[in-house]
Structure 1
């Protein structure tokens, strides 16, 4: 009986070792798949990010051009107004200086309420 028990125990130990190897292989496979899935997800995220970045750049370029045109138009109008004011100032320089000197030298203080 002892030989049969010993053989049975040995068979059980062999089965346990084999099961342990199978479990280890399954863990290694699972770890490998997790790494592959993570790498694949990183690639997909990077592709999505690049796509959205390109989309944003296009949107920004399209709308910035409109802003640049408006800015150039506003600068042009401002330059025209400045030029116009300078021309009026040159034409009426003597009168402006006379009015400024008069206002400074003949001040009429008024009480502030």
Structure 2
């Protein structure tokens, strides 16, 4: 056997092993990149779906209860109108109370 041929065979094996390792590393890197891409796409899709559900939920809340501003304004207007009605009623009754009840009570002598 030729000693040079043995050395050449070992070198060929080492070279082939390096090439195989490079191919395996490249495949592993490609697989990792694909997994990252799939995870990113899944996260993006989940975020879009979550956003869509949130907007539908907010829309249904607005439809059933109205917006917060309109509800607050409506309640404020109702409160103001009720206060005004109470003030008007009190001003109408005040004269009767003063004239009839208080004056009558003051002028009535008890035995």
The TM-score bracket by the shorter chain reads: 0.5 to 0.7
Greater shift after overlay, 31-40 or 83-92? 83-92
Which gives a bigger RCO, structure 1 or 2 (Cα 8 Å, sep 6+)? 1
Q: Which residue of 2 aligns with 1:15?
A: 20
Distance 1:88 1:16, change over 3 A: closer
How far apart, in 2, do the equivalents of 1:23 and 1:8 lie? 22
Q: Does 1:47 align with 2:47?
A: no
How many residues align? The count is 96
The 1:34/1:7 distance shift into structure 2, 3 A limit, reads same
Q: How high is the TM-score relative to the length of structure 2?
A: 0.64
Residues 70-94 of structure 1 deviation map (CA, whole Å, 9 limit, x = unaligned): x85xx56x82x65444334324534
CA change 1:95–1:25 in 2 (3 A) is same
TM-score, reference length from structure 1: 0.63
Q: Which runs of 5+ in 2 are unaligned?
A: 1-5
